[in-house]
Amino acid sequence: MRIAISTGGGDCPGLNAVIRGAVRTAVAKYGWSVFGIEDGLQGLLRPEPLRPLTPASVRGILPRGGTILGTTNRGNPFGVASGELGQEDIPGKMIARLEAEGIDAVIFVGGDGTQTIAQRFRERGLKVVGVPKTIDNDLDATDYTFGFDTAVGIAMEAVDRLHTTAESHDRVMVLEVMGRHAGWIALHAGISGGAHVILLPEIPYSFDAVLAKIRERQRNGLSFSVVVVSEGAYPAGEAPSFRSHPGKSTNARLGGAAEQLVERIERETDFEARATVLGHIQRGGSPSHFDRLLGTRFGYHAVELAAAQKFGRMVCLRGTEIGDVDLLDAMGQNKQVDPHGQICSAARAIGICLGD
């Protein structure tokens, strides 16, 4: 067989582990040829040849962040982006290119948007296999996605570091972490880093509750606090804070959750407060051991699905085992933090304020 790999959406630590795992399995176990599509699917529209991927060309990429193939979250060939290029049938052009290159199947590595694109190609007759990816860990079809563990590790270290400034200056330090619709990064990093307040998109927060926690600590002789806030968290009765609105081919960008909270703390109390926005630091750099291992296992299983002719499916992690689900069952199914689940209960029991 000749297979191609595409990485789409935001970059994520562990993407290269998937590529390496898939290439090594396909070549060593099955003797297939593997090609990389550059920049999401954009490489299919360019004259340059697809990039041959061999065990030699993927050597040394395991510790590297990002994706050696490049990626884009603006390249939906079924979306407005194709309209921008006129009335051309962009997906049809891409399929024709794959046929011309003799590609039998494509492995789509990406988040919900990418898996939806994979399903649309499947409906047009392409043989596809999905590999889920997001640092947000908010896909319901898999217990974990690679990238999440690395992001939480980076955010946890930031919480550790903010403690020292908070304590030295008697300040309220507010850390904003990623998490568009789900607060998994904030929850895991906040608990692991010993934050005093954690605010999630799933629990619209009461400013009074946040303040009560900070004041309770002050009464106990602790005049500092560390708050972790998801970029998608917002006060009850209000809306999330956006930096920009959706463009023709871009998502709305969240931003300002920490700044909003700091402004209010300083306006309504005598506490000194500072905001830190971790941003893309969370997505950059070398993947953790967990993400390298999960990426490698996903890459291997994606090739096994292709070898078994089980197309239209996405690999997933259930407990400790890799399984697979129909792409139709994976699309648009978000996994959010349960405000009354075990992790939130543990957080509350040890005195963390979740904003309610």
Identify residues 234-253 at the interface with ligand F6P (CB under 6 A): 253
- Least distance to ligand F6P, CB of residue 177, Å: 8
Distance CA 313, CA 322 (A): 13
The question of whether 136 is a catalytic residue gets the answer yes
**Residue 302 beta carbon to ligand F6P: minimum distance, rounded to whole angstroms:** 21
Binding residue (CB under 6 A) for ligand F6P from 73, 206, 249, 333: 73
Residue 243: name the closest of 260, 267, 227, 229 by CA. 260
Closest CB to ligand F6P belongs to which residue?
A: 178
Stretch of 90-98, 173-181, 307-315, 327-335 lying at the interface with ligand F6P (CB under 6 A)? 173-181
The sign one gets for the Cα dihedral 65, 70, 76, 77 is negative
Q: Smallest distance from the beta carbon of 267 to ligand F6P, in angstroms?
A: 27
Q: Is 142 helix (H, G, I), strand (E, B) or coil?
A: coil
Residue 197 corresponds to which tokens in the numbers above?
A: 């307040």
Print the binding letters for residues 129-168 with ligand F6P: x by CB under 6 A, - otherwise. -----xxx--------------------------------
Residues in 312-351 at the binding interface with ligand F6P, rule: CB under 6 A: none
Whole-Å CA distances, 156 to 74, 151, 224, 256: 30, 8, 18, 20
User: Does residue 198 contact residue 347 with C-beta atoms inside 8 Å?
Assistant: yes
User: Which of 179, 183, 235, 355 touches ligand F6P by CB under 6 A?
Assistant: 179
33: how many CB neighbours lie within 10 A of its CB? 17
- Assess contact for 67 and 131: CB atoms under 8 A: no
Nearer to ligand F6P, 39 or 304 (CB): 39
The nearer residue to ligand F6P, 126 or 330, going by C-beta atoms, is 330
**x/- map, 264-303, ligand F6P, by CB under 6 A:** -------------------x--------------------
Give 68's DSSP letter: T
Residue from 160, 186, 152 nearest 14 by CA? 152
Handedness of CA 334, 339, 342, 344 (dihedral sign): positive
User: Judged by CB under 6 A, does residue 178 bind ligand F6P?
Assistant: yes
CB 62 within 8 A of CB 20: yes
180 binds ligand F6P per the rule CB under 6 A: yes
Q: Which of 136, 138, 291, 324 is an active site residue?
A: 136
Alpha carbons within 13 angstroms on the beta-carbon side of residue 206 total: 6
Number of residues that bind ligand F6P (CB under 6 A): 12
Please give the positions annotated as active site: 136
Q: Which residues are near ligand F6P by CB under 6 A?
A: 10, 73, 134-136, 178-180, 231, 253-254, 283
